[in-house]
């Protein structure tokens, strides 16, 4: 069984009021090359910084070899970091930069006194030892002879190597790399990727790598941790993550995907695009699911032989393959194939059962906590909305004084009543006119689902999310108004909180 070198247990991190990391738990095996992958702002760098000790978790534990190091300062941890912009000391030369950690180091040496008793002494490394170690580190990063050079005379790639040498010279148990290749050009980056991988094999220590580049993650890692919104979305080998994405976010973020809404119609049978398909994943019948098919997993054939038939609407040459977009009824599919087709060609498509990936949809409906106001509107999700409050009490109506009269004639003041608010995915519209609707927000996510887009609009004030489907194309980060028709807001009463709770 592999040993866990580092383990995160329920780690949560707030910066002020903002939740950055939400209850993250996972463990890393000794000697592994593990990558934290995710879009910017997903919490990957914060997770790394907590392992390094620059940030402390608000709650939860970080265990190193089974010991809790959550509160240990960075200089007491046997980990070293390669910083995003290298953070080399500008006033020291290459040798002094690399030797910095060694000069701080104290080692236990064992001696024998006159009486033959053993005793230990904490001692600095000798100049000779330091010089030997620096020389070896420079050899590993291929910078022999650069000892006397000043940092400002080095190119970006060379600085990168010095930064790596400065970290590995301390022989850390874990090497942390925070987007170390981000500042390099594409060719340099590819070379460094291969070199880093080789270095990992040679040194045999654990590498924890942070990147937003999915290709980099897939190329280098033994294990990938996909993160979004401060939550681990999926953890697994690159093959697993690519072939069996756990949800539509992972499917969309890693590689390209055709994502569609489907319904399970029987054992190992799913219906989407108006056809039934055999699949491997097993879900209860009648359950709505997200169907994910990779573009390279769709085979083209003659129209009459295919499970689906459609017309080619665009062909783009991508070097190794063609990216072919096919219109099937009102759905669009993207196919990657080494064979080309012409625009307008009628083609058939087949998908093998094990290439159809079903996943539980992330969002079935929007649910909020709401409060009824004085004027019988409801406040939720950073906005105030017109709604029909009579649905809370069947058969009731509103009198002239805005009181609710129930079926039995009881008069109720609904002000400050707490309710559960539900809004369906198809019941929200957005507009780019300001103040057209209840709230304003930015579009933070767009996923194409064959015949429509799934959007998430997030408000600025309390970061409330509105998830919905639309056929219109919007851009990420657009600032929009959210509209919900009065009759689409479903209200239910919340069970009354026990009043003796306070006592």
Partner 1 sequence: MKLPRFSRKTLCIPYAVFLVFFIIIPMCVILFYAFTDKEMNFSFSNFLRFFSDPTKLSTIAYSIVISLITTVICLVIAYPVALILARSRLKKKFVILMLFVLPMWINFVLRVNALRELFNLLAQAEALAWLENANIFKTVVGMVYDFLPFMILPLYTTMLKIDNSLYEASADLGGNAFVTFFRITLPLSVPGIMSGVTMVFLPSMTNYVVSDMLGNAKVTIIGKFISDYFGNDWHMGSMIALVLLIVVFVSTWLTGGFKSEENVRGANL
Enumerate binding residues for partner 1 (CB under 8 A). 52-54, 73-75, 79-81, 83-85, 87-91, 100-101, 104-105, 166-167, 170
CA distance 105 to 320: 51
For residue 371, give Cα distances in angstroms to 375, 438, 496. Answer: 11, 15, 13
Size of the chain in residues: 503
Please report, in angstroms and rounded to a whole number, the separation of the first and last CA atoms in the chain. Answer: 52
- The residue (of 21 and 167) whose beta carbon lies closer to partner 1 is 167
Quote the Cα angle for 51-56-60, to 5°. Answer: 85
- The residue (of 75 and 477) whose beta carbon lies closer to partner 1 is 75
Residue 338, Cβ density class (10 Å: 0-12 exposed, 13-18 middle, ≥19 buried): exposed
- The residue (of 101 and 438) whose beta carbon lies closer to partner 1 is 101
- The residue (of 97 and 257) whose beta carbon lies closer to partner 1 is 97
Query: Residue 333: helix, strand or coil by DSSP?
Result: strand
The residues that bridge with 317 in the sheet, in sequence order, are 322
- The residue (of 101 and 245) whose beta carbon lies closer to partner 1 is 101
Q: Are 128 and 136 in contact (CB under 8 A)?
A: no
Smallest distance from the beta carbon of 130 to partner 1, in angstroms? 13
Which pair of structure tokens corresponds to residue 44? 């990957």
Helix (H) or strand (E) holding 27: strand 18-29
Smallest distance from the beta carbon of 223 to partner 1, in angstroms? 23
**Beta pairing, strands 418-424 & 275-278:** unpaired
CA distance 180 to 203: 18
Smallest distance from the beta carbon of 70 to partner 1, in angstroms? 16
- The residue (of 63 and 125) whose beta carbon lies closer to partner 1 is 125
Number of other CB atoms surrounding residue 41 within 10 Å: 14
- The residue (of 163 and 430) whose beta carbon lies closer to partner 1 is 163
* DSSP states along 127-191: HHHHHHHHHHHHHHTT-TT-TT-BGGGS-HHHHHHHHHHHHHTT--SEEEEESTTTTS-HHHHHH
The residues that bridge with 235 in the sheet, in sequence order, are 225
Smallest distance from the beta carbon of 163 to partner 1, in angstroms? 9
> Considering only CA atoms, which of 405, 348, 352, 393 is closest in space to residue 491?
393
Smallest distance from the beta carbon of 20 to partner 1, in angstroms? 16
- The residue (of 78 and 303) whose beta carbon lies closer to partner 1 is 78
- The residue (of 75 and 286) whose beta carbon lies closer to partner 1 is 75
- The residue (of 91 and 202) whose beta carbon lies closer to partner 1 is 91
Helix (H) or strand (E) holding 4: strand 4-15
CA distance 158 to 21: 34
For residue 422, give Cα distances in angstroms to 361, 419, 466, 491, 494. Answer: 17, 10, 11, 6, 12
- The residue (of 101 and 295) whose beta carbon lies closer to partner 1 is 101
């Amino acid at each position: 069984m592999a040993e866990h070198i580092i383990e995160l247990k329920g780690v949560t991190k707030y910066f002020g009021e903002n939740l950055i990391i939400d209850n993250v738990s996972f463990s890393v095996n000794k000697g592994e090359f593990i990558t934290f992958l995710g879009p910017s702002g997903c919490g990957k760098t914060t997770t790394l910084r907590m392992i390094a000790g620059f940030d402390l978790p608000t709650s939860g534990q970080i265990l190193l070899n089974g010991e809790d190091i959550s509160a240990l300062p960075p200089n007491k941890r046997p980990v070293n970091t390669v910083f995003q912009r290298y953070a080399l000391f500008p006033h020291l030369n290459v040798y002094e930069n690399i030797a910095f950690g060694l000069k701080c180091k104290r080692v236990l040496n064992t001696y024998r006194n006159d009486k033959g008793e053993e005793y230990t002494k904490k001692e600095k490394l000798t100049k000779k030892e330091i010089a030997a170690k620096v020389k070896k580190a420079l050899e590993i990063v291929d910078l022999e002879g650069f000892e006397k050079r000043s940092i400002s005379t080095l190119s970006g790639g060379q600085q990168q190597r010095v930064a790596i040498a400065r970290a590995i010279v301390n022989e850390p148990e874990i090497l942390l790399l925070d987007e170390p290749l981000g500042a390099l050009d594409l060719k340099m980056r590819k070379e460094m990727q291969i070199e880093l991988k080789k270095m990992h094999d040679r040194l045999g220590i654990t590498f924890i790598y942070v990147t937003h580049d999915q290709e980099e993650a897939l190329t280098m890692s033994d294990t990938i941790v996909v993160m979004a919104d401060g939550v681990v979305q999926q953890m697994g080998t690159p093959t697993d993550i690519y072939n069996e994405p756990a949800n539509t976010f992972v499917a969309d973020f890693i590689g390209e995907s055709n994502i569609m809404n489907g319904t399970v119609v029987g054992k190992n049978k799913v219906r989407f695009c108006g056809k039934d398909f055999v699949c491997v994943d097993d879900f209860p019948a009648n359950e709505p699911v997200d169907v994910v098919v990779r573009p390279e997993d769709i085979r083209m054939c003659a129209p009459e032989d295919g499970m689906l038939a459609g017309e080619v609407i665009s062909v783009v040459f991508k070097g190794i393959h063609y990216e072919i977009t096919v219109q099937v009824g009102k759905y669009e599919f993207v196919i990657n194939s080494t064979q080309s087709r012409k625009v307008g060609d009628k083609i058939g498509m087949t998908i093998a059962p094990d290439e159809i990936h079903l996943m539980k949809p992330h969002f079935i409906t929007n649910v909020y906590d709401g409060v009824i106001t004085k004027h019988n509107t409801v406040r939720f999700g950073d906005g105030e909305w017109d709604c029909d409050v009579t649905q809370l009490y069947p058969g009731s109506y509103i009198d002239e004084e805005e009181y609710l009269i129930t079926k039995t004639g009881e008069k109720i003041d609904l002000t400050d009543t707490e309710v559960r608010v539900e809004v369906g995915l198809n019941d929200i519209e957005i507009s780019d006119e300001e103040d057209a609707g209840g709230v304003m927000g930015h579009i933070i996510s767009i996923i194409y689902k064959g015949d429509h887009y799934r959007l998430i609009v997030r408000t600025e004030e309390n970061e409330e999310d509105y998830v919905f489907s639309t056929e219109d194309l919007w851009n990420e980060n657009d600032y929009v108004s959210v509209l919900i028709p009065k009759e689409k807001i479903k209200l239910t009463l919340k069970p009354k909180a026990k009043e003796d709770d306070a006592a």
